[in-house]
Structure 1
Amino acid sequence: MTLMLASVLSSAEADTAVDCGVDIVDCKDARRGALGALSLDEVAKIVASIAKRRPVSAVVELPHDASQARAAIEAAAATGVDFVKFALPMTPDLHEVVDSLAPLCPRIRLVAVLFADLGPDLEALPLLARAGFHGVMLDTAHKGKGRLLDHVGVGALGDFVSRARALGLSSGLAGSLEAPDVPRLLVLAPDVLGFRGALCETGDRQRALSPAGVKLIREMIRRPHAPAPRYAEVDHVFVRDLVMPVDIGAYGFERGHKQRVRFSIDAEVFRDIGPDDMRGVFSYDVMTDAIRIVLDSGHIELVETMAERVAESVLLHERVRAVEVVVEKLDVAPPASVGVRIRRERAHHTSALHAKTGA
């Protein structure tokens, strides 16, 4: 289950966030950059206002001196927050910094933040896991210069989440995320999606939280016991004739270089009869993402395997009833193309159809 984190800068905003159903309240001063810390007095007020209704995290601006860094983290933890977040310093002494903080991990849940737009080194993840860190988030340092997905492809984000999970680390994704990004990232199953700007008036992260903005994102990240969306007719959402270079082929001569492959996807999608906004939209981005995720997995021998994996990825979205995937290799016998067309349905839709028809 993916949790929704909302960054707040006051107890009033914290109350708004809780009232709108966020899962984690994050104390952060958005006016002071990507990871600006609030004063400890303000953090304490937020903790008191939340009164254990939700977990609370707080940002710490980590001093370079190890002993001062530990003191800063302990001071933040003393306010009663559940998590302490800080930017992981990607410096030559990274090992020493992490080792110096390891003794805090049995008492304080530490979350390290890596910046996608500053070339993060994911080899730091095993180091964090060995030290006992609670989790790791991928964020952006320079707000206004692109969203997380502008800096890191969906396949690489999936790899980040998978590597963190394999190491026992909680994973989070943030970085100027907007409503259309939510369905694209939910399929990766991160533990947390973090937001600020998308929740604020006019999308300005330095302005106050907007209840409408918070509710929009909250309803796009469905909770396990939330009422099921109301669906009406079935629409067809499609991507046609997308040509990409692909590492594919079973023959030896096909290895070591990419071939042109054409993809077409047609998804049968239940239309949400709720609000006329992003909550009711199934974006074609999730289908192009499915292709990119499969391509990022490495060499694939058969077009049939590629088509199956793309179909499986699209069907992860609960609103998709069925999907048809066409994969064509264009360089085998030009000007002709060769390939495969498959159709796959969501299992429970097939069962329901059989029950109605008596088949």
Structure 2
Amino acid sequence: MRLLVSPMNMEEAQAALAGGADILDVKNPKEGSLGANFPWVIRSVAELAAGRVPVSATIGDLEFKPGTASLAALGAASSGADYVKAGLLGVKTQEQAEEMLNAIVRAVKELDPGKKVVASGYSDYSRAGSISPMLLPAAALQAGADVVMMDTAIKDGRPTFDFMNEGDLADFIKLGHSLDLEVALAGSIGFSHLPALTRLQPDIIGVRGIVCGGDRRSAVKEELVAKVKSALSR
């Protein structure tokens, strides 16, 4: 399992890197669960991480607007992101998911076929009015995306494990792997969830709040990144 940590600025990126993060995921928590940061922040973090770890960038909790999404994806990829992560919040059907992902994947892969697209759904999809994440692996495969992810849309402290039990998450991972996709899990993960995640073995675990002392609006702390990394490796 690789540990993805989501910094919002250079200071946090340096702390995440020093703590042992495997992927730096540039986001802006002020704009939502997968809020997009600025191109110059992505570029600075990419320069910091060059030759050390890959960089991911979120492009927002998106409405069903494939054109807007494709431009945002191109911006993130052009700014140095190795992974471009799209939250399909406003998507209601598998067909809409495919249309969105086709546009995003084309924008990214035409720039650089080596860059990866992450299709993110939400474990609390029913309260957020979004598509079930269980429909995303098939849509991601059809569009040529590389990773499927599950996060939480509403950041009120309730974790993914409140909405999906361990069996549900195992099914999501199994489905993604059966389609040759990487699978990532995130969503207000706490230290109490790490044993279950170790059993589940997703490819990537995404965190922010846990490495900010429990408040995702606070700052990423090197020692907490190291603590999570150590717990996952035991």
- The normalised TM-score by structure 2 is 0.88
194 and 169 in structure 1: CA distance in 2 versus 1, 3 angstrom threshold: same
Whether the 8 Å contact between 1:135 and 1:171 is mirrored in structure 2 is yes
Distance between the aligned counterparts of 1:65 and 1:144, measured in 2? Answer: 26
Q: Distance in 1 between matches of 2:32 and 2:100?
A: 23
Q: CA deviation at 1:124?
A: 2.9
- Residue 130 (structure 2) pairs with residue 131 (structure 1): no
Unpaired segments ≥5 residues, structure 2: 127-131
Which residue of 1 is the match for residue 190 of structure 2? 178
TM-fit CA distance, 1:98: 2.7
Residue number in structure 2 paired with 1:79 = 79
Query: 1:63/1:43 Cα in 2 relative to 1: closer, same or farther (>3 Å)?
Result: farther
Q: Distance in 2 between matches of 1:211 and 1:34?
A: 22
The structure with the larger Rg is 1
CA positional deviation for 1:67:
2.6
Alpha carbon RMSD of aligned pairs, Å? 1.7
Q: How does 1:36-185 map to 2 (within 5 A)?
A: 36-61=35-60, 62=62, 64-88=64-88, 89-92=90-93, 93-104=96-107, 106=109, 107=113, 108-119=115-126, 120-185=132-197
Which residue does 1:216 correspond to in 2? 227
Answer yes or no: is the 8 Å Cα contact 1:105–1:133 preserved in 2: no
Q: Does the CA contact (< 8 Å) of 1:105 and 1:131 recur in 2? A: no
Measured after TM superposition, the shift of residue 63 of structure 1 is 6.0
Q: Read off the aligned partner of 1:149 and give its amino acid letter.
A: F
* Segments of 4+ moved more than 4 angstroms: none
Contact 2:33 2:155 in 1 (8 A): yes
SS at match of 1:122: helix
Task: Report the Cα distance in structure 1 between the residues aligned to 2:224 and 2:117, rounded to whole angstroms.
Answer: 29
- SS of 1:180's partner is helix
1:208 is aligned with what amino acid?
A
Structure 2 letter corresponding to 1:94: A
* Deviation sequence 1:129-179 (CA, Å, 0-9, x none): 121101011000111241111110000000000000001111000000011
- The superposition leaves residues 161-207 of structure 1 with CA deviations (integer Å, 9 ceiling, x where unpaired) of 00000011110000000112111111111000111010013x11111
Aligned length: 221
Q: Which runs of 5+ in 1 are unaligned?
A: 223-228, 230-359
**Would you tell me which structure has more helix in proportion to its own residues?**
2
Q: Which letter does structure 1 place at the counterpart of 2:183?
A: S
Q: 3-state SS of the aligned residue for 1:31? A: helix
Which residue matches 1:193? 205
Measure the CA separation in 1 of the matches of 2:151 and 2:46.
Answer: 24
**Compared CA separation, residues 156 and 65, structure 1 to 2 (3 A):** closer
Residue 123 of structure 1 aligns to a residue whose secondary structure is helix
Q: Deviations over 1:257-304 (max 9, x none)?
A: xxxxxxxxxxxxxxxxxxxxxxxxxxxxxxxxxxxxxxxxxxxxxxxx
Aligned counterpart in structure 1 of residue 216 of structure 2, from 201, 205, 214? 205
- Give yes or no for contact 1:105–1:132 (8 Å, CA) kept in 2: no
Relative to 1, partners in 2 of residues 1:42 and 1:96: Cα closer, same or farther, differing over 3 Å? same
CA contact (8 A) 1:66 1:100 kept: yes
Higher strand share: 1
Cα distance in 2 between the residues matched to 1:209 and 1:103: 33
Distance 1:145 1:180, change over 3 A: closer
